């Protein structure tokens, strides 16, 4: 049986970290895998819901582990309230999936540092 995904609306208190382009956060950095060209096949049982969201992490260290695979930036993202953002703890501990319009999510970026 698949894992149950329970999304909560953002409260404005959530601060998460997202791996972004080296030049800084752009709208494309906040598009879900559903909306991006596929560079590798997905497992056939991947829930569509997860493909519509974007991965973020609870700590900078967790995001940096992912960022070490390529040159990247690390965005500090404070999820805003009342703008249609939802999030859920998914996958391994410290991983979150966030749903929201890419333009809204990029507007939540407070800071971008070089991750690698």
Task: Please give the model's pTM, rounded to 2 decimal places.
Answer: 0.87
92 Cβ neighbours under 8 A, 6+ residues apart: none
Q: Residue 4 — very low, low, confident or very high, per pLDDT cuts 50/70/90?
A: confident
Condensed to tens digits (0 to 9), the pLDDT of residues 80-113 reads 999 999 999 998 899 999 999 999 999 999 999 9
Q: Are 90 and 7 in contact (CB under 8 A)?
A: no
What pLDDT, on the 0 to 100 scale, is given for residue 91? 85
SS3 state at 21: coil
Helices (H), 1-116: 48-52, 60-67, 102-106
What pLDDT, on the 0 to 100 scale, is given for residue 84? 96
70 vs 82 pLDDT, higher one: 82
Mean pLDDT over each residue of the chain, to the nearest integer: 87
What pLDDT, on the 0 to 100 scale, is given for residue 38? 67
């Amino acid at each position: 049986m698949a894992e149950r995904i329970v999304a909560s609306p953002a409260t404005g208190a959530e601060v998460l970290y997202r791996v972004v382009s080296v030049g800084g956060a752009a709208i494309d950095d906040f598009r879900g895998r559903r909306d991006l060209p596929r560079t590798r096949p997905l497992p056939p049982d991947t829930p569509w819901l997860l493909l519509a969201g974007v991965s973020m992490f609870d700590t900078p260290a967790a995001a940096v582990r992912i960022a070490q695979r390529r040159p990247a930036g690390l965005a500090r993202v404070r999820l805003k309230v009342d703008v249609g953002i939802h999030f859920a703890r998914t996958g391994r501990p410290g991983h979150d999936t966030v749903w929201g319009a890419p333009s809204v999510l990029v507007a939540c970026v407070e800071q971008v540092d070089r991750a690698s």
